[in-house]
Amino acid sequence: MTTYGRAAEESAFVRTYTLTRGRTKPRHLLALETVLEAGQGRPGPAQAEECEEILALCRERRRSVVELAGRLGRPVTAVKILVSDLLDADALVVPLTQSYADTGAGSGPSIQMLAAVSAGLKRKWPDAVAYPQAG
């Protein structure tokens, strides 16, 4: 690799490091396909300019995490960290799709909602026991 190429690569790494303020993990569990839309909140004044770009894109229409990363030209993990910040500020929300919505008073959660919750719990605690052991 040339000296110029190495310097450019190191510069991009430093920019990503400062963009996330050194954080390497988002606070929210976000999949690549997680869809986001603009919320009622506002990002804080110390937020990166990329946060405004994320909000502008999500105001146009709903966007997935991976689409935001591609449009910004940033690593997915860095975008997940920024999205987590915006979720905390209620500037972004994860919309509840119809397949996960309650289907009526007293009907309980849908099968799709239970499957999504189950998948999320399995990702969060992959080694957890599914059923308590009789003791």
Return per-residue pLDDT of the chain as tens, 135 residues.
555 555 444 445 556 777 777 787 888 888 888 999 999 988 877 677 888 999 999 999 999 999 999 999 998 999 999 999 999 999 999 987 655 555 555 566 666 677 777 777 777 777 766 555 554
Q: 63: which strand partners?
A: 36
Distance, in Å, from the CA atom of 57 to the CA atom of 91, rounded to the nearest integer, reads 12
Question: Residue 7 has what pLDDT?
Answer: 47
pTM: 0.63
Domains of the chain, by residue range, sit at 3-97
CA 7 to chain centre: 30
Note the pLDDT of residue 44: 75
* CA atoms within 13 Å, Cβ hemisphere of 44: 10
